[in-house]
Structure formats: C-alpha cells, structure tokens
Amino acid sequence: MRQNLKTVVSMHTRFKISFVLVVIIFSWVRVFAQHNHDHHENTHNDHAHEMSDGNSEHQESHGTCGSHDGHAAFDPASTAIHHISDANVYSLLDWIRIPLPTMLYAEDRGWDVFMSNVFEIGHHEDGHQSYNGYVMHEGSVYRVADKTFPQEGSVHLGGFTTESQLIDGKKRDVTYVCYEGNKFPCESRSTWDAGMLGGGVSSFYDFSISKNVLAMLIVSIFLMWIFIKAAKKYKENPHSAPSGTQGILETLFVFIRDEVAIPFIGKDKYMKYIPILMSVFFFILGLNLFGQVPFFGSTNVTGNLTVTMVLAILVALFVNFKGNKHYWQHVFWMPGVPVAVKPLLAVVEVMSLFIKPLTLMLRLAGNISAGHIAILSFIGLIFVFGNSGANLVGSSVGSLVSVPLTMFMMAIELIVAFVQAFVFTILTASYIGAATESHDDHH
Amino acid sequence: MTGTLAAIGAGLAVIGAGIGIGLIGGKAMEAIARQPEASGDIRSGMILMAAFVEGAALIAIILSIFF
C-alpha cells in the first residue's frame, strides 16, 4: 500500500516536472519565433533599400513592391493551412531543411529536375532565389506568370506578398514575388483538378517527390520491414509465443480478421480479401501515426484529399469489379419491391455507387486534417495572446493555456488515428461483403 | 458575409451529426447493458453507423467550404 502510494506520488511529481519542462520548451519556441520575426523584419528593411536602388523604368508596367506591412498580425487560419499542406521541402522545426527532388514539367519549356535547395529556402519556407522562372512560397513551387521575369538561372528575390483579387467574380488570393523593386504575379499552385477546387489552373505539372510522397515511401518501407521481420520469425519457430513487434502486429492483425473480415465478408471466403483489408488498414494507420510524431515534419498525408481520393477510388474499383450478379441486380433492378419503385431505387443505388467512395475520401481527410488544424490552433494561441511575440506576459499565459490543450488534443488524435484506420477498413469490408454476397447467404 | 453564412451552415450540419451520433452511442450502450455477450457485434455496428452519419455531416461541411 505504502509502496503504491510512493509510486503514485513519484508519478505525480514526474508529471509535474515534465509539464513544467514542456511549458519552458514552448516559451523557448516563442522567444525563438520572436527572434525570427525580428530577423525577418530586418531583411525586409534591406529589401526596401534594394527597392529604392532598383531601376524605375519597370515600375510603370509592373506594380511596385510598396511598403511591406512589416510582421503583420498573426493569422492562425493561414498558418494552419500552410502547415497541413504538402510541400517541396521537408522542414524539421523550421530549422533543419531537407531538400527534396523537384521535377517540374511545363509544356513551353520541358522538364526541370533539381533539388529544392536551389531556392535557398528561408523562414516560412519562402525561397530567397528563383530557378528557371520558378519560385518557392510557403513550401510550394509557383511559376511566375509574367514572362519578363528572368526565365533562366537564379536571381535573388525580395520576398512575397499576397493580395486577394476578384477574378471571374470570385475572390482569389494572388501571390506576387518581388524582384528588383517590382512585383510579378505568380500562377497558382500546381494542381491536377484543372482549378475546379479553387486552386486555379497552372501551366506546369509538379511530379516532385514532395513531403507527402516521402512520408508515404518511409512508412511503406517501414511496414514492409517489420512485416517481413515478423513473418520470418513465424517461419523459423511457428510454435513459440509471439514476441516484440510480432506481438503488436498479431494483436492488430487478429483484431481486423475477427472483428472486420469474418463478420462482414463471411467465414468461407474472407481469406481472399485479407490482403487488401490489411494493406489499407496498416497503410492508413502507419501514415496517421507518422503524422502525429511531434517535431518530425508533422506530415498530413492521410489528411490530404488527393491521397484519400486515390485510396477511395482503388477500393471502389476493387469492389465493383468483384461485384457478382446479385450485387448488380440489387443496384439496377432491386428484387422484392413493386415494379413502380424499381427505377427510382435504381437511381438511388447508382448515386450511392459514387457517394460511397466520396464519403470514404472525405471522412478520412476531414478527420485527420481537423485534428491537425485543432492542434495548430491551440499552438497558435501562444502567438495570438502574445501579440505575435511582442507581449511576454500574454505569450506566457498563452503557453500555460496552450500546452494542456495541445496535449489533450494529441491524446484524442491518437485515438482518432486508430478509429479512422479501423472505420476505413470496416467500410471497405462491408462494401466487399455486399458485393460478393451469394444468394443463399440471406433471405 | 459569405464566410459567415458558410460557418452557420457547417454548424447546423454538425448539430445534426451530433444528435445522430449521440443517439447511436446511447442506444448502443443500452443494448450492451441489456446483452453484454453481444457487445462485440454492437460495437462494430455502432462505429459503422456513426461513420455513415459523420459522412453526411462531412459532405455538408465540404460543400460549405466550397460555396
């Protein structure tokens, strides 16, 4: 009893000490950020000097890089969006920047393959150099739309400004790059959706190994490694109790088999669908957890709509190709209902063929992105209370509020990482089960 | 102004989903209390239904972001 009490007390003190440590670290983050902002402002002043020296003949054709608004008020929304977006550089703590291979293709100039450190990436993942008409702003590659901008080699840039403009009756943010005192409009970020989702159309395609692609490669290789390791162990001594990674993997594997595969697909044919269910589950779980590791890039792969779209389309194709006669009969000519209702139900069923993968895609991306945004907003409280590093008392209070909230949110996110991987798998299994059900299974 | 209206729409969607998921969770707990031996089946059914409700809410939220 006494011993127990002692452990509890020591746990309590340990928790207190770690809490204080975390608060100190966060305060340091604030000081560090403040330092960066000061630095930032100085460089802006330098640029202002450069601008006044710059030649003035261009200034009529292009807008000038007018007075920069200094380090403006902290904008939590845009900061959060920047941090959950994909990037062409892997930043750890806004400090260590791992350049990534960038492969760009534009119809009018062909391929450009280079490492992203040619942009000389600085704070906020803004590039200080251009390269062959491309620039980097907040981690993404943009192409300068104005063709009077130097199209070959590198030039030194004077920062970026963003203005919202009315284009085709819609408000859009246009990024401008400053060069020799003039501002040049940039195209939108590279997109594959032809601008349908508000990104705008760009004249180049980005095939880079971006941050998300790198995270997917790391997680895939890691999963392959631990599964091959576990499989070897099973082969060597099949009768011994599982140990180490084997134990973790077996728990999850058996859970998915017994709770998802067998009840939804059926005892006699579930084995055929185990590979896709397990691949989906462990890939999503691995990426969810990889994005949760603090100070490790905080990649948001499963929160990226493109990634989840590909996963959902693969599942939908798999399900519909595996669908048997009864499945398609249930879609187009539902048995057991009056003939008048049948065409109506067919319309609904055909719609649901498309809605199923759509919700699969939105659910995963929405949940994971929402968690990341919540954590970033709580960390943003420090900067909101502290007036972006100007108010010491405010930011200390902000840290005290922000640390427990962030820790709470991260604990919730750990559960969400498992639940969303499980939900994706269980829905996949239920769709497969519905598509492959033989006629004598029910009724 | 559009931003405010979209936020109200997202909030309304979340109210609906909240009621739905609350009902599902409450009924599932009742069912487990009534028949503890069926808790495994009830739990997976509960998560599946909650996922469907959440899907409807997410569609509303995505629409409120884009329009």
Number of other CB atoms surrounding residue A344 within 10 Å: 11
Chain segment A395-412, per-residue pLDDT in tens: 788 888 888 888 888 898
Residue A387 is predicted with a pLDDT of: 72
Gap from A29 CA to chain B (nearest CA, Å) = 32
pLDDT at A377 over 60: yes
Contacting residues for A41 by C-beta, under 8 A, at least 6 apart: A70, A71
pTM value surpassing 0.80:
no
Name residue, tokens 């246009």.
A174
Chain segment A18-32, per-residue pLDDT in tens: 655 555 555 544 444
Strands A89-92 and A96-99: antiparallel
* Chain A residues interacting with chain B (CB cutoff of 8 angstroms): 197-198, 259-260, 263, 358-359, 362-363, 366, 419, 422-423, 426-427, 430
d(Cα A42, Cα A70) in Å, to the nearest integer?
10
Return the ∠ at Cα A49 (arms to A47 and A54), rounded to 5°.
Answer: 90
Chain segment A140-191, per-residue pLDDT in tens: 888 887 777 777 777 777 777 777 777 666 666 777 888 877 788 887 776 5
Continuous segment of H or E residues that includes residue A240: none
d(Cα A324, Cα A330) in Å, to the nearest integer?
10
Residue A70 is predicted with a pLDDT of: 47
pLDDT at A119 over 70: yes
% of chain A beyond a pLDDT of 90 = 10
CB–CB contact A427 B51 (8 Å)? yes
> Residue A164's beta-bridge partner residues?
A173
d(Cα B6, Cα A441) in Å, to the nearest integer?
46
Average pLDDT over residues A50-66: 44
CB–CB contact B55 A197 (8 Å)? no
Q: A119-128, A185-194, A269-278: which has the minimum mean pLDDT?
A: A185-194
Residue A355 is predicted with a pLDDT of: 86
CB–CB contact B44 A426 (8 Å)? yes
Q: Answer for the pair B46, B24: CB distance below 8 angstroms, yes or no.
A: yes
Residue A156 is predicted with a pLDDT of: 78
The letter for the amino acid at A261 is A
Tokens of residue A410, six digits: 């991260």
> Residue A96's beta-bridge partner residues?
A92
CB–CB contact A419 B40 (8 Å)? no
Reported as a pLDDT band with limits 50, 70 and 90, residue A103 is confident
Residue A18 is predicted with a pLDDT of: 60
Q: Which of A198, A358, A430 lies closest to B66 in CB terms?
A: A198
Reported as a pLDDT band with limits 50, 70 and 90, residue A282 is very high
Residue A53 is predicted with a pLDDT of: 39
Residue A236 is predicted with a pLDDT of: 85
Residue of higher predicted confidence among A270 and A126:
A270
Residue A43 is predicted with a pLDDT of: 40
B14, B47, B61, B66, best to mutate vs chain A, most A CBs in 10 Å? B47
Q: Which of residues 5-34 of B touch A (CB under 8 A)?
A: none
Chain segment A318-361, per-residue pLDDT in tens: 999 988 888 888 888 888 888 888 888 889 889 888 888 988 88
Q: What is the pLDDT along chain B (67 residues), one digit of tens a residue?
A: 456 777 788 888 889 889 999 999 999 999 999 999 888 888 888 888 888 888 778 777 777 766 6
d(Cα A172, Cα A202) in Å, to the nearest integer?
14
C-alpha distances in Å from residue A116, one per residue of A1, A170, A299? 60, 32, 18
Tokens of residue A336, six digits: 């057991």
